[in-house]
Structure 1
């Protein structure tokens, strides 16, 4: 009914000029976004060449987009939408079919029965023999050349009078600018027992300012061809976005409003809190979210901030009030420890001139991030099980607290992980998916935080091979150092170095470089230094870092699945009785 009412209103009221302008600016922005990488550009050239005969048609496309009128939109609506057949789907809670659209027919979903020991053997099979398409193009592969060593883009740095540090890379390949303002704090700044304050503040900041309603703020952002987002993470709140180069200054004026003129709307706060509570209840039905929550709580212990998920839990969110958000903003939204990162078609001079007003109106203020207790080491070779009755898959996470991203060994361990679970050519993926067919994917890697972060291997497998998958994960980790060969050394170097060839081609990648520099206190050429570290690593170096940090004896095993069919099998792993936990990692 709501859809039909909306269409009827559109027919009565027509196209509002401001709505049309917003649509045009978004379309202009989308054209620029479509050229963000080498691959994007290749696709765009090929697509235009195929369908228009002109690989450079993007200019014409932009001109035609900007020339669209309200009458053009109504004409297209009448020809392709009004009165035409449509397909509507309804997803409603179990037992509440009255909420579905009128005339909806039930969709029949057949659930596959999961039977232990009934897993079919999987193999690649015989290579298919098929008729190849004739072509005059040369499809032969050229021989491999020398590894393309990366060279970092030129970075400029400055410090504003209020202490705000600024990092920039000028790149005029697209007429876009990407930016972010990183404000240390995040979950680390949440009051004890109220995890979720930083996240709610980040959400509330996008719900209008003291001078604009939520709708007015959204409209202002759209009319600039901009995107602005505020997100709270483990260790910071980040105001990030991107915009057309020609609208960088007015976009930053909106960012200033978000920081200095919050709306503090009680009604919006209450709505966001209800939405968060609903989202947390939804996550209680997500095995992956449950595994993440439990893994963090077991590793960090109850007293560390990271024991809870960044968004909080129903218990921690229930007691949050609007005044908690005000106190957080007063304590942590300061330029003194903040950093601003900007890349794109804008000069250092323009950036600093644009930030001059914010610098003047945003005074320095010391920020003290609470120290965290040393996490107790979780007993290794322990299985933790969370019951999700009737689950057809089991989510598995194996790991331990390993390193801070500032640790000198962090980069070396990251390189050493490449052959185990860094990508689809890693041993875990090849074994669990390609060889066994137990899963769609299996990966491993480090979590990058200033606080000590975990190394973890993770996968979701068919329920009837939960134990078998755990045994495979255990054996791969346990034997990784001993089976790491000279060939693995060469493959690792080849993959990482060639993968880095396009490391800085997009604005987002360049922004990530600046973010790492400011967050971890790294020099502008740190990626080049990392590259030299990799090239200098020997087989002995790889084995040493694996043995030091990936000792299987210190790993914990988290399993989220159907206890009725899987819990009893966990003893066969021979790590003692599994510890049964609730959805948030608490013992029953």
Structure 2
């Protein structure tokens, strides 16, 4: 039974007095408590990150393997990346890729959903599935001792899903309920409207991976089976294996689990070109009596393959990519309008969006927009030397955090696979950031952030925020629904 903890009384843990007893312990040992320092610790020079070797192999059926031997602990992470996700959804059935991925572990091989869950628990492994805009994946974390059995489960989920009707009905119902709930969530309303306004609903980047009620309603179980049959093919996939196994062991394991997987032609995915950026406009998505306004400000950015990747990382970190960034410092620390503000480039196969965002107290909506515009204009000016140095050091010192576990390494490699980048990309980060100059930062800020061509979406209480937004004269104001479509208002 859970009991409440009283922080005001002394307690002991493993025989050591804790919490309220700490000052007395320090005093008894003759050591005065250390005074708090007003000076932050100096940043050290980044230690060169030594990455383990990444070896590539290809099975006869076309399945690409990336193998990373990491022997510190007797664990292995396997990450299967299928290079088709919501991009491949038919426009009238958006949400199909994610429903397909969700169905994979609802019954596979000879096991129904319950039996599969029980065996996962018995082996003490983690096995999951998912899909995003540009890929679908199945991931596994296992000890070395249970790896053979765990890989058999993973292969069943990928190659032999049973797609039970009752589980499909349940998942589809849950999806429709979730979509209904989004209609009362300001951040979700702003996200959907922003994507649709920047890219248009006919473009995959302009739609949500979870779809809409209108697109999910007609999805049938046969559609799920067809998507799996079409895109889940070895010649459209990469298996990443990281952990306590050699290259030869990994190849043998992958062949045993996935060698029978049959290759097939993968249909090309085509879609409409994104519209050109237009003059800045403010689009209100009405959420009556909302206590806060959800800001999404930006436009079309860059693809992950851009040659400007490192300057953009530095520029955005200064603008809104860290807790001490300009946007967060101004809107949270100085003005107190929000709990947090930030920005980022969603770099995809094609040019993904740049988005600056915050959830702002409703009464300060117009004031927050003014501050956003000041910072978006200000980042186009030369970055001071001290700020440039701090941002670069922040990025370099934090980079190693993404490689602490075998799962972290598998995730990092999967991002390269998704965007078709060479494996050497991971080892080039520190030097790439080090070469960025203030001139580089100003160049990319000027090139990719044009305050005169911004899509500004604010989901909030129209009745209270519209007059003040118009008074800023920053841009014309109109009203849209959460699909980005015009709303006729009195």
Say yes or no: TM over 0.5: yes
Question: Secondary structure of the residue that 2:108 maps to in structure 1?
Answer: coil
Q: Give CA deviations for 1:193-244 in whole Å, capped at 9, x if unaligned.
A: 1001111111111211241111001001111111111111101111112122
Q: CA deviation at 1:136?
A: 6.9
Which residue, out of 441, 461, 472, partners 2:340? 441
User: d(CA) in 1 for partners of 2:51 and 2:353?
Assistant: 28
Q: What's 1:376 paired with?
A: 275
Stretch deviating more after TM superposition (430-439 or 346-355): 346-355
Give ranges in structure 2 of 5+ residues lacking alignment: 1-11, 17-22
On the 8 A contact 2:52/2:70 being kept in 1, the answer is: no
**Is it true that 1:192 corresponds to 2:86 in the alignment?**
no
Of 274, 280, 295 in structure 1, the residue corresponding to residue 179 of structure 2 is 280
1:51 corresponds in structure 2 to 14
Aligned residues: 464
Identify the range of structure 1 (489-498 vs 383-392) with the bigger mean alpha-carbon deviation.
489-498
2:169 maps to 1:206: no
The reply on whether 1:264 has 2:163 as its aligned counterpart is yes
Deviations 1:119-177 (A, max 9, x none): xxxxxxxxxxx999663798999865433232322212211111111112222323322
CA offsets 1:393-418 (integer angstroms, 9 cap, x no match): 11101111110111111332122111
- Cα deviation for residue 260 of structure 1 reads 1.7
Q: Is the CA contact 2:55–2:68 (under 8 Å) kept in the aligned structure 1?
A: yes
Please give the per-residue CA displacement for 1:436-460, whole angstroms capped at 9, x wherever unaligned.
1111111111113212101111100
Q: For 1:394 and 1:332, how far apart are their aligned partners in 2? A: 40
| Partner of residue 513 from structure 1, selected from 412, 423, 437 | 412
The 3 A distance-change label for structure 1 pair 342 and 210 is closer
**Does the alignment pair 1:585 with 2:484?**
yes
For residue 280 of structure 1, give the secondary structure of its aligned residue in structure 2. helix
Q: Distance in 1 between matches of 2:475 and 2:373?
A: 15
Give the conservation status (yes or no) of the 8 Å contact 1:147–1:498: yes
Determine helix, strand or coil for the equivalent of 1:309.
Answer: coil
Matched-pair contact (CA < 8 Å) for 2:283–2:480: yes
Q: Where does residue 310 of structure 2 map in the other structure?
A: 411
Aligned to 1:227: 126
- Separation (CA, whole Å) in 1 of partners of 2:26 and 2:200: 60
Query: For residue 473 of structure 2, what is the aligned residue in structure 1?
Result: 574
Cα distance in 2, alignment partners of residues 488 and 142 from structure 1: 16
Whether the aligned pair in 2 keeps the contact of 1:395 and 1:461 (CA below 8 Å) is yes
Aligned to 1:538: 437
Residue 304 of structure 1, aligned match among 195, 198, 203: 203
Compare the two structures and name the one with the higher strand fraction.
2
RMSD: 2.3
Task: Give the SS at the match of 2:107.
Answer: coil
* Deviation string, structure 1 residues 487-539 (Cα, Å, up to 9, x no partner): 22211221111112434222232112211232233333323323222212221
Query: Does the C-alpha gap of structure 1 residues 575 and 144 become closer, same or farther in structure 2, counting only changes over 3 Å?
Result: closer
Aligned equivalents of 1:499, 1:485: Cα separation in 2:
21
Alignment of 1:324 with 2:231, yes or no, is no
TM-score computed with the length of structure 2 as normaliser? 0.90
Distance 1:492 1:586 in 2: 39
> What is the aligned partner in structure 2 of residue 168 from structure 1?
67
Q: CA deviation at 1:368?
A: 2.5
* 1:467 aligns to 2:430 (yes or no): no
Q: How does 1:480-559 map to 2 (within 5 A)?
A: 480-559=379-458
Q: Give the alignment's TM-score, normalised by structure 1.
A: 0.75
Aligned to 2:301: 402
Structure 1 SS opposite 2:322: coil
Gaps of 5+ in 1: 1-48, 54-129
Q: Secondary structure at the match of 1:500?
A: helix
The residue aligned with 2:154 is: 255
Asked if 1:343 corresponds to 2:242, the answer is: yes
Which of 320, 324, 335 aligns to 1:421? It is 320
Query: Which one of the candidate residues 293, 312, 319 is aligned to 2:192?
Result: 293
Partner-residue secondary structure (3-state), 1:586: coil
Residues in 2 aligned to 1:503 and 1:204: alpha-carbon distance in whole angstroms: 29
| C-alpha distance in structure 2 between counterparts of 1:537 and 1:483, whole Å | 13
Say if 1:149 and 1:501, in contact at 8 Å, map to a contact too: no
Stretch of structure 1 that moved more, 555-564 or 339-348: 339-348
Match of 1:150 in 2: 49
Q: CA deviation at 1:552?
A: 1.4
Q: Which piece of structure 1 moves more, 145-154 or 491-500?
A: 145-154
In 2: Cα distance, 1:462 partner to 1:142 partner: 34
Q: Distance in 1 between matches of 2:208 and 2:409?
A: 28
* 1:223 to 1:51, Cα distance in 2 relative to 1, 3 A: same
Give the secondary structure class of the aligned counterpart of 2:486. Answer: coil
Deviates more, 1:506-515 or 1:139-148: 139-148
Partner Cα distance (2:282, 2:111) in 1: 52
Q: Which residue pairs with 1:177 in the alignment?
A: 76
Q: Residue 282 of structure 2: SS of its match in structure 1? A: strand
SS of aligned partner of 1:355 = helix
Residue 63 of structure 1: aligned partner: none
Q: Which residue of 1 aligns with 2:8?
A: none
CA gap of 1:506–1:573, structure 2 versus 1, over 3 A, is farther
Q: Aligned pair in 2 of structure 1 residues 52, 316: CA closer, same or farther (>3 Å)?
A: farther
| Matching residue of 2:19 | none
**CA–CA distance in structure 2, aligned partners of residues 175 and 316 of structure 1:** 45
Partner Cα distance (1:410, 1:531) in 2:
13
